[in-house]
Structure formats: C-alpha cells, structure tokens
Amino acid sequence: EFIDKVLKIDDPVGAISVHGVVGAVGTLLVGVFATDGGLLYGGGFGQLGVQAIGVVSIGAWAMITTFILLSILKAVMGLRVTEKEELEGLDLHEHGIDSYPEFGRDK
C-alpha cells in the first residue's frame, strides 16, 4: 500500500517491498548482529556504517542503470502502448486473441 498509494509507484507484484526493502533491512542488520564488529557485539557503528554505504550505493547504481536503460528503450521503441491498445487489451492487440473470453467484452 505505501509503495502504491504514497510513493505512487506501480508495483503490482510487490517486488520493491519484497526484494528492495527487505534486502536493505537484512543488509543493514548485518551491521547490528555481526559477531565480529557488529553494533550489539561491541563493534560500534563502524560495520553498520559500511552496510549503510553499501545499501545506498547499490540503490543509486540500480536507479541510475535503470534510468539509462529505460531512456534508451524509450528512444528506440517506446515504453507505452497507445490508449486505444491499452483499453482494447494487449493480448487482443498483440496476438489477435482475448486472454479471458469467458468474461465477455463490451464493444
């Protein structure tokens, strides 16, 4: 809900929540629970800081790389279908067949 409604990111399968958020939390918790240098084992904030830098670096790399790749795709072939094609249904438009004919279609 937070990703969809507040951040307004279309994530129908919850990939950001499942992989992004949980991965970042797990990576940060290494800095808390690591037996050699973790925050709870007397290591201070050093390891946690390193883990935080890693999370931020990976997030930045993923965003920059995605932006570059999507920009190239947008320039070469476009990222969106027309509104007519979207309303018609992409299976019908792309493959000439309706995926769910049992639901019927108002024409």
The predicted-structure confidence for 72-95, as pLDDT tens digits, reads as follows 999 999 998 889 888 888 888 888
Q: What is the total count of domains within the chain?
A: 1
Nearest to 27 by CA among 55, 53, 46: 55
* Domain assignment of residue 58, yes or no: yes
* Domain assignment of residue 104, yes or no: no
* Domain assignment of residue 54, yes or no: yes
pTM of the predicted protein model: 0.74
| 36-79 residue pLDDT tens | 999 999 999 999 999 999 999 999 999 999 999 999 999 999 99
* Domain assignment of residue 107, yes or no: no
Alpha-carbon distance values, 7 to 3, 4, 10, 16, 83 (Å): 5, 6, 9, 11, 24
Range of the domain at 65: 2-99
* Domain assignment of residue 79, yes or no: yes
